[in-house]
Structure 1
Amino acid sequence: MDILSNPEFIELIPGLPSELGLECLTRLHHSAHRVALRVCNQWRHLFQSDDFYCHRKKTGRARKVACLVQAREQHAEVEKSSTPPSYDITVFDPESMSWDRVDPVPEYSLGLPLFCQLISCEGNLVVMGGWNPTSYEPLTAVFVYDFRTNMWRRGNDMPEKRSFFATGSGQGRVYVAGGHDENKNALKTAWTYDPRSDEWTALAPMNQERDECEGVAVGGEFWVVSGYATESQGMFDDSAEVLDIGSGQWRKAEGVWESGRCPRSCVDIRENGRVVDPGLRIGVCSVRVGSKNFVTGSENEGAPYGFYLVENDEGQKRKLNKINNVPEGYSGFVQSGCCVEI
């Protein structure tokens, strides 16, 4: 539907033709949308409409950004204590090199659960699982953030408690597999979550248990990379299991990962199934954002922690371009992340 054919959106900016008014608002940077929503009811309805979201994508104005589970910077005396860090959601735009934060989840005003999963799905952010920072109890809560309304809503809880599981999204759904239960038993069960209907559906189980695995959705497939079985604690496998999202069938891919290396937050897979090394070894998080990868971590033990951009067309030996002048408050450790198109 043409936005301007909707009688609700007439003369969006007084004194300008409707076409020019729409063009001006379409060019508005996403970080200003939360303010624009409060200008008038017409703008609020426009910014929250599916038609405007589709129009921004069609005209190339939608932005792909990295959303990161990032530790709050702490004072030196706090860092020396045994108190675990608190995490917020940071938004980094590699085009404008701007940094911002998503409003806290209302139930998690003091910080996100430890090791929670952050997934993007059709312009929304989904936060699920993790541990209570005080009791370390595994949580099943699900929260969905809509960038169009800048609001959180509570979703249906995960069907079962699990930690360190793989996640990915494709075709409007979130996929969950592996991890371990409350008794540290590795899991091979899998589920899919639909944020629109707020429903969970069981998938066929994987062929083997995979604890501390990593999930990546690419080209109509959901890859669950590495992990280990209950009796093989810490012995990371070199294989992956791949779900064909269309058929719901799993297949096994051998030799796609380095045996013994933890895959958490650092797996990058191309549509041809090739796994790309992020270029760092310690505390790595790699998020593909359009034509670039946003990568954090250190080259080796004791090396400084850094933030980098990597061009995706540079092959296996890719150059790490350091991001300088990171604003105060945004240099904390990045636990995980995902790409969101706003």
Structure 2
Amino acid sequence: MVVSKKKSGWIKGDLIPGLPEELAMECLVRVPFQFHSSMKHVCRSWKCVISRPSFNKERISFGKAESLLCLVQPLTPIDDDGGGEMRSEKEEGSESQSQMMMIQQQPRVTGTPLYGLSVYNATLDTWHRVAIPERIPLFCECVAVQDAGKVLLIGGWDPETLQPVRDVFVLDFFAGEGSGRRWRRGKPMSAARSFFACASVVGSRKVYVAGGHDDQKNALRSAEVYDVEKDEWTTLPPMTEGRDECHGFSMLATDLGFCVLSGYGTETQGQFRSDGEIYDPVSNSWSVIENVWPFPDLSPRGRTATAESAGEFRGCRLWCFIDSERQSQPRWEIEDDSMKWKVVMETIRLPVTTMTSVFAGSLSGQAVAMIGGGGEESGTMMVKATTAEKNGGKWINVNTPSGFSSLPFSYSSIYV
């Protein structure tokens, strides 16, 4: 293939000999993500096109991007039949398998679970575990930055000392080999924290963190923002209240904000606040939003998830997952004290009543729940379409191999 110099962002030339560029691009975006690393070795034109962030946007616009759910969960033994994880690790190669063996053989504190990053490909209905060359912190927050094609693991506890850490791990899906194996350490946070609010800003490459607790279990007011491309942290004004075990969401608007939901103070552990706080990047200040979380005995973590919003909505739409026996309004709307932001909460009833624990979230516009505890549904994932046109709006089981059935601590989703 004759290739000329770069022009308009990529190397000009026939992507596929004999086909117009538009048709050739339509062919390339249809190739499954796991083969992208191999495609980069075909020719310089393909490597240049596939390596650009715009290629992922093309896959999304054509409806060919794959939806991945990334879960930080305790590792459990994998069945010998090679199901789930082993199918996908064959795609990652022997290097990935050797890394996993190295991690599993490392010494650890007795009784302390070993955490890993599991990935469920909702498009292909497959599972695999991403190999990481070092142990990730316990209870780290998982957040995806879609525009950058990256998934970050932030904060948590050191597996040896069980103390909060400042660590940041960055997984680059677009630059990695196939299912994503290129990891790097990002610049650490300015403060060690765990059980904090964390969210990426939609349409940008920034991640907010706020609250959580320090090594003395003191609830934190501090907040900061991370620029993924610059690898820089910027300190933000502190919140009005310390908030441990709070939950974070991105606020949609022209000027994107950050919502910290509920949490509790140092002296009131386990008593979750009914209010929240919203950071406005324009005024560089926080405003309080009252009466947004009506459950003083229930953590918003694993019980709230972002729902899709459309139009000129200024704020965030959330799903609130509740037990079938818990009484609640089906929907409520609250504005903050600045009257600029709004939070809309819609309740979703969880699928079973025999569970003792659950972790719920969202994936590709659908509700998703990992079920723990008693009952025959324990250790499985279930999804529910939020519109009646698909699956009748009913909960359905997802094939969950035993090695991936433990409840996650945090999650994020990304299209690749």
Structures share fold, TM-score greater than 0.5: yes
Matched-pair contact (CA < 8 Å) for 2:11–2:44 = no
Residue 275, structure 1, aligned to residue 312, structure 2: no
Q: Between 120-129 and 28-37, report the one with greater CA deviation.
A: 28-37
Trace 1:70-219 onto structure 2 (pairs within 5 A): 70-74=73-77, 83-104=111-132, 106-108=133-135, 112-121=136-145, 122=147, 123-150=149-176, 151-170=182-201, 171-219=204-252
1:255 equivalent to 2:258? Answer no
Aligned to 2:313: none
Q: Distance in 2 between matches of 1:4 and 1:313?
A: 44
User: How big is the shift at 1:148?
Assistant: 0.8
Does the 8 Å CA contact 1:66/1:294 hold for their aligned counterparts? Answer: no
**CA, structure 1 residues 308+149, in 2 after alignment: closer, same or farther (shift >3 Å)?**
same
- Tell me, yes or no, if the aligned pair for 1:266 and 1:278 is still in contact at 8 Å: no
Q: How many residues align?
A: 328
- Pick aligned residue for 1:264 from 298, 301, 311: 301
Q: Which segment is superposed worse, 235-244 or 39-48?
A: 39-48
Superposed displacement of residue 139, structure 1: 1.8
- In structure 2, relative to structure 1, the CA distance for the partners of 1:15 and 1:70 (3 Å cut) is farther
Cα offset, 1:319, TM superposition: 5.6
3-state SS, counterpart of residue 54 of structure 2: helix
CA distance in 1, matches of 2:165, 2:188: 9
Corresponding position of 1:288: 362
Alpha-carbon distance in 2 for matches of 1:194, 1:57: 24
Partner-residue secondary structure (3-state), 2:192: coil
Using structure 2 for the length normalisation, give the TM-score. 0.71
Aligned to 1:233: 269
* 8 Å CA contact retained: 2:359, 2:407: no
RMSD: 2.8
Gaps of 5+ in 2: 1-5, 80-103, 177-181, 308-315, 318-342
- Aligned amino acid, residue 409 of structure 2: Q
- Is 259-268 or 31-40 further displaced after alignment? 31-40
Aligned to 1:331: 405
One of 373, 385, 395 as aligned partner of 1:311: 385
- Structure 1's 7 and 275: CA in aligned 2 closer, same or farther, altered over 3 A? closer
Q: Secondary structure at the match of 1:23?
A: helix
Using the TM superposition, name which of 59-68 and 219-228 deviates more: 59-68
Q: Which runs of 5+ in 1 are unaligned?
A: none
Residue 15 of structure 2 aligns to which amino acid in structure 1? L
Q: Contact 2:381 / 2:399 at 8 angstroms: preserved in 1?
A: no
Structure 1 residue 120, shift from structure 2 partner: 0.8
Whole-Å separation in 1 of the counterparts to 2:129 and 2:7: 32
Q: Greater CA deviation, 259-268 or 29-38?
A: 29-38
**Residues 96 and 128 (structure 1), Cα distance of their counterparts in 2 relative to 1, 3 Å cut:** same
Confirm or deny that 1:302 pairs with 2:374.
yes
Number of the residue aligned with 2:35: 32
- Post-superposition shift, 1:38? 4.2
Q: CA deviation at 1:175?
A: 0.4
Structure 1 residue matching 2:163: 3-state secondary structure: coil
Of the structure 1 ranges 262-271 and 185-194, higher mean CA displacement relative to structure 2 is found in: 262-271
Distance 1:159 1:278, change over 3 A: farther
Structure 2 letter corresponding to 1:259 = P
